[in-house]
Structure 1
Amino acid sequence: MTPTTEQAALVVNTGSRRGAEAFEEAQRLLVGRGVDVAEAFPVTDPARLRETVEQAVERGRKLIVVGGGDGTFSSVVDVLAGTDVTLGVLPLGTANDLARTLELPLGLAAACETVATGKVVDIDVGRMGGTAFLNVASLGLSVEVANALSPVLKRRLGPLAYPVAAVPAYRRHRAFDVELTFPAGDHAPVRLDHLLQLAVGNGRFYGGGNAVSVQAGIDDHALDVYAIPHGRLRQHVNIARFFRSGGFVEHPEVLHLRTRAVDLATDHPVQVNVDGEVIATTPVSFTVSPNALDVIVPQGSTAARRDRDAR
């Protein structure tokens, strides 16, 4: 069952990698598949995405179809989480890691077909203080990579832009020390020195298809925390070989913990990358809100199920 009988709003971030070229085609495809698109908005300024979605919700739209990259979805998730509004996902960005996690097709036509014929599930939402996120928040090398990713590079190379940007980022990386404490008491405090990267994952994928861990999922009501020491290049190459599968967390030098909440402090202020956008600086706190967001996925997707009662 899908909410396609409801009047829908289509909101597309035209600044995302494929957003500008996909807007009109997405509207045509959705209508052609029976989705009642009552209003459609090409948003040129990403800062107005949240406002646009808020206004659509205020007008009573129960299905909001959003097109853009991972940062687009994170920017509007707080408007939809905990409501009876359903999110339809059109992956139009560079990494499209939310789509990968949800087992969504990356092609526009197939993604529109999913909105029209898929099933509604509810997924977890990660929170960094008052900021919601869907995939991963991270410190260290990933921030350097995000800062090196220009819009031109992302448009030209797509997901390949990430490893290309990682080479110069690795060379200029500055190690950091971190203290982890766990408010729920499920782990003892941990101090880690001289790190290359630390990540807190709500979803499964980040960075264009790298897995947070073998166990990570967006419907498991847990955060996956991993930390990679600074170390030597050979050690990092050995770890990086298993990024795609998430098996790198089993490396003896990598710390991996699963928790519902973690507080994080560093020896000096360190920037935090949230779903591809650098938006915060340590210290920060993370929690997870289980089953907080309704989203449409393909009928065959096993990424999540619907646990909440229909409202």
Structure 2
Amino acid sequence: MKVKKIHFIVNPISGGGKGKEVEKSIRKLFYDYNIEIKLTEKKNDAHDFAIKSYNEGADLIVSCGGDGTFNEVASALVNKDIPLAIVPIGSGNGLARHLKLPLNYEKALQLILNSKMIIEKIDVGCLNEYFFFSNTGIGFDAEAVKVYSHQKQRQLIGYLKCVFLSIFQFKPVHLILNSDVYNFEGKAMLLNISNSNCMGYDFTIAPQASLKDGLLDVNLVKKCSWFKFLSIGLGFVVKKNFSKKQSYFKTNHLNVKTSSNGFIQLDGEYMALDTQELKISILPQALNILVS
């Protein structure tokens, strides 16, 4: 490994407090390197730390946390000439799974320590002024993420619980969708736009999605009965389309107007926007990721 100046941005509460163990392992393994460890305390700390580390001349920046931490760090490094490494210690870890990176933090740190500095350039999704790296969504998935953000139980069981609870409070949203290949106006259960093929926990609704094709994979589920919606969900699991209520297409941009008041999920994090008009596009090969 040629780099010497490595900055680690660690979310200490990720993985039920596993971030604190990661900090200890970093100090033990990288004793011979010029390292700096920055611990987040609140939202946007990871983003601000990444900007600071870049300006301080770090050779490599490492995101140690979940998908939310990664989104903040990576958003600061889009179109920057610096590699980003991932030590996944969250619950879903969607992007790390897509890239087939180690999900065990000790193995992830060893990969960095023994790195051959093989860098891959990946595409980055844009939603208005925000970036996403795995996926963004309007409708049911955003509702489930919103519920998930307010409860303490994490991991897969916690998310499944929130999916169940969301069934009783979700109402279909009205969408006007325009793209170069598909247009739609009406009520929808779900609109998910994927950059990677994994939403987390190895679950996918866009198995053909690629981080390198310069395209977004869009899944639209129109308003339907809950029985039909659950059958579509089963179809996602077994990679089959069971309903005409589901539409799938690829595009490099789309415009959406929504009645959801800008209520979305972005890389698995709940976000309320101050607009109902969404411009979604792709930046090809805009982020450098260390993969080996």
Output the TM-score relative to the length of structure 2. Answer: 0.90
Aligned to 1:264: 256
* Partner Cα separation in structure 2 for residue 40 and residue 187 of structure 1: 46
Aligned to 2:6: 8
**Pair 1:253 & 2:245 matched:** yes
Aligned to 1:152: 152
Counterpart mapping for 1:1-311 below 5 A? 4-17=2-15, 18-28=17-27, 30-31=29-30, 36-118=33-115, 119-149=118-148, 150=150, 152-154=152-154, 158-182=155-179, 186-191=180-185, 193-244=186-237, 247-248=239-240, 251-267=243-259, 269-281=261-273, 282-298=276-292
1:295–1:151 distance in 2 versus 1, CA, 3 Å: farther
Query: Quick check: 2:19–2:64 contact (8 Å CA) kept in 1?
Result: no
CA-based RMSD of the aligned residues comes to 2.0
* Pairwise CA distance, 1:30: 4.2
**What SS does the aligned partner of 1:114 have?**
helix
* Partner Cα separation in structure 1 for residue 246 and residue 191 of structure 2: 10
1:212–1:220 distance in 2 versus 1, CA, 3 Å: farther
**What SS does the aligned partner of 1:46 have?**
coil
* Pairwise CA distance, 1:226: 0.7
* Partner Cα separation in structure 1 for residue 35 and residue 137 of structure 2: 38
Which deviates more from structure 2 when the two are superposed, residues 116-125 or residues 214-223?
116-125
* Partner Cα separation in structure 2 for residue 250 and residue 283 of structure 1: 30
1:188–1:204 distance in 2 versus 1, CA, 3 Å: closer
* Pairwise CA distance, 1:264: 0.5
Which deviates more from structure 2 when the two are superposed, residues 56-65 or residues 42-51?
42-51
* Pairwise CA distance, 1:25: 3.1
Query: Quick check: 2:125–2:281 contact (8 Å CA) kept in 1?
Result: yes
**What SS does the aligned partner of 2:37 have?**
strand
* Partner Cα separation in structure 1 for residue 269 and residue 219 of structure 2: 19
Which deviates more from structure 2 when the two are superposed, residues 139-148 or residues 201-210?
201-210
* Pairwise CA distance, 1:96: 0.7
* Partner Cα separation in structure 2 for residue 229 and residue 53 of structure 1: 39
Query: Quick check: 1:64–1:87 contact (8 Å CA) kept in 2?
Result: yes
* Pairwise CA distance, 1:243: 2.8
1:100–1:251 distance in 2 versus 1, CA, 3 Å: farther
List gaps (5 residues or longer) in structure 2. none
Number of residue pairs aligned between Structure 1 and Structure 2: 286
Once the two structures are superposed, residues 154-199 of structure 1 have per-residue CA deviations (whole angstroms, 9 ceiling, x without a partner) of 1xxx1222111101101110111211112xxx325322x2211111
Which deviates more from structure 2 when the two are superposed, residues 205-214 or residues 64-73?
205-214
Output the TM-score relative to the length of structure 1. Answer: 0.85
* Partner Cα separation in structure 2 for residue 140 and residue 103 of structure 1: 29
Seq. identity, %: 22
* Partner Cα separation in structure 2 for residue 257 and residue 267 of structure 1: 22
* Partner Cα separation in structure 2 for residue 234 and residue 109 of structure 1: 43
* Pairwise CA distance, 1:12: 0.3
AA at the equivalent of 2:8? L
* Partner Cα separation in structure 1 for residue 175 and residue 232 of structure 2: 20
* Pairwise CA distance, 1:289: 0.6
Aligned to 1:309: none
* Partner Cα separation in structure 2 for residue 93 and residue 210 of structure 1: 15
* Pairwise CA distance, 1:202: 1.2
1:112–1:172 distance in 2 versus 1, CA, 3 Å: same
**What SS does the aligned partner of 2:64 have?**
strand
Query: Quick check: 1:27–1:37 contact (8 Å CA) kept in 2?
Result: no
**What SS does the aligned partner of 2:44 have?**
helix
* Partner Cα separation in structure 2 for residue 30 and residue 123 of structure 1: 28
AA at the equivalent of 1:6? K
